[in-house]
Chain A
Amino acid sequence: MAPLLEVRDLVKHFPLDGGMLTRLLPGRPGRVVHAVDGVSFVVEPGETLGLVGESGCGKTTTSRLILRAIEPTAGRIFFEAQEITGLSPAELLPFRRKAQIVFQDPYTSLNPRMTVERIVGEPILVHRLVASGELRARVRTLLEMVGLQSEHAARYPHELSGGQRQRVGIARALGLGPRLIVADEAVSALDVSVRSQILNLMTALRERLHLSYLFVSHDLSVIRFVSHRVAVMYLGRLAEVAPADELFKRPLHPYTQALMAAIPTIGDGRASIFDQPERLLEGELPNPIDLPRGCRFAGRCPFRFDRCAEAEPELKEVETGHTVACYLYE
């Protein structure tokens, strides 16, 4: 079966706005931010791919590129075997129905001047998916699906709690009958007890509606919970891609290992990970404008050797389904 989504060598460079003068000066190549720098992956039908990384790694940019919210500098995106890069806005409409987004912030992702009914109903109406007489019933069904009651339809966003708002956001995305939902830090702004409700809801909906998720998050424990496969991103490139169980049992890339070592999980209260600074990653993310030659992680990597500074390592399959971009495994 063809993958639902395939991304090939996606690149996004944001030009640094040097102002009018530098743009007019001839012969000086503009400096760019390498937000996404050659990323390839697939999402299978019914699968959740977790995209994890720290801020500035390009995971949000990747999610926006996939939805054609921003245009890639290079690379190709296929959805249901059709190339969507290069489609005009009108040609994109069928894709817009099938690929939807759930945002991070439930406070700013809903129009404060609209009722829940209009928020959820508007996309359905615009795509003429139901006759206007049936819209009301459709919205009620959607609200029930996400665990809200029909009485919530008349409310405004500010009358709802954070968790309820996030449910409205999910209902809006589901309204168009999508195959893929990009969840961009969809639970990061929520409190622990509400977060688990939303995570359970999203996994239940996935099974029920046979949805695929691209689940973007900085939180490894959330990624662990929702994902079938996980892609670890560092500074615009994928460091490692593996089935979730496999990755968390045996992280291969030194960055993945460091990331996992840094997560404060609930311990036994005796030893603290913060008492072993030697296990923690040193340094900070390098500047994505002037990247070092070779492996992007080499500067912070405890295992670096000569080769790391020479050329950038490519993702190589080390075991079935487990790929890693690191010279240690070649």
Chain B
Amino acid sequence: MTEDQSDVILEVRNLVVEFSSEDGPLRAVDGVSFAVRRGEIVGLVGESGAGKTLTSEAMLRLVRCPPGRISGEVRFRGQNLLALDEPALAGIRGKEIAMIFQNPGASLNPVFRVGDQLLEAMRLHLREPARSLRERVGEILGRVGIPSAATRARDYPHQFSGGMAQRVMIGIGISCVPSLLIADEPTTALDVTIQAQVLALLRSLARELGVAVLLVSHDLGIISQMCHRVLVMYAGRIVEEADVATIFRAPAHPYTRGLIDCLPRMDGSARLGTIAGVMPGLRSLPSGCPFHPRCPLAEPRCAEEAPKLRSAGDHHSAACLLVGT
């Protein structure tokens, strides 16, 4: 995070999301800090329950508070999003920062035509005559790869397949030319050939428009093929951060290493690596390093001291006491 501070469009500092419960406050996101630069695709990867979706939602205050409580700082182009009032934030959501979600069918309103929903999204944020916006609808739908876009704009969401609906969502996302797109498991509901089409579209759009993308995914393969930089999350914390080549070639955190070993290789090796046990629930977080009960390298001190992110090389950091010693 040393190079070119001016390029940073999003900086998250010490983001914490807590929920109150009968057993006291539960920390679902615990001190997450990272930055996203212009035009960069950053992957946020982790297993279910790691807090990755919550992190992305908390950044835009999409977590209902109460019961949640968000603290920390989310600086987007110099403003702290967590300190903005609701109208100001609404002006940023959907315009400067767009979001697409896992289930495209549920994100579109079934009773309005697809083109009208796209138009509505633009009218909310862009002060342009409706006429010129209307012309852009077909253009955008064409750009996201919807065949005969002008006709399809008059169709209803149920007439779109999952892949096509996700293209529409991407179209809505980019319609106001945001500087950051948050994509939360955008292709998890799609088949592999359709997933490839949608991800290829996302990557080309990001490059063309210079949009930064925060890609939330559980799929290491997708992360590897899509991202420039990767954040690995475990039990509400970021445990490793590095550029994509480093993280898969020389992972520093035992969890990252274990995760990669768990993947079946296409070369057909006989046995898979495993990580013993499961991720701890919020109610039963262990002391010290949250990974230590499952860690093959754990030492006694791992149960006492919670590791902070520390340097493991160039632009590479990991939250492990064994790193750098």
Contact = CB atoms under 8 A, between A and B. Distances in A.
Q: Do A and B bind each other?
A: yes
A245 interface: yes
A266 B248 contact: yes
A244 B274 CA distance: 23
Nearest to B228: A269
Contacts of A245: 268
| Interface size range of chain A in the complex | 35 or more
A86 to B, nearest CB: 35
A274 B266 contact: no
Interface residues of chain A: helix, strand, loop or mixed (majority):
helix
Interface in A251-291: 258-259, 261-270, 272-275, 277, 280-282, 284-285
Interface in A161-175: 161-163
Contacts of A192: 47, 218, 220, 259, 262-263
A275 B200 contact: yes
B278 interface: yes
Contacts of B262: 192-193, 195-196
Most chain-A CB neighbours within 10 Å: which of B163, B221, B245? B221
Nearest to B49: A191
B316 to A, nearest CB: 13
A203 B164 CA distance: 38
Contacts of A162: 278
Contact of A269 (B47, B204, B219, B243): B243
Contacts of A264: 195-196, 199, 219, 221-222, 224-226
B161 interface: yes
Interface of A: 54-55, 161-163, 191-197, 199-200, 203, 218, 220-222, 224-225, 244-245, 248, 258-259, 261-270, 272-275, 277, 280-282, 284-285
30 contacts: A54-B191, A163-B278, A191-B47, A191-B218, A192-B262, A193-B47, A194-B278, A196-B263, A196-B272, A196-B274, A200-B271, A218-B192, A220-B192, A224-B265, A225-B265, A259-B192, A261-B196, A262-B193, A262-B196, A264-B196, A264-B219, A266-B224, A267-B224, A269-B249, A272-B225, A277-B197, A280-B196, A281-B196, A281-B197, A284-B163
CB-CB nearest 9 A-B residue pairs: A269-B245, A225-B264, A264-B221, A262-B196, A196-B262, A54-B191, A269-B244, A191-B47, A196-B272
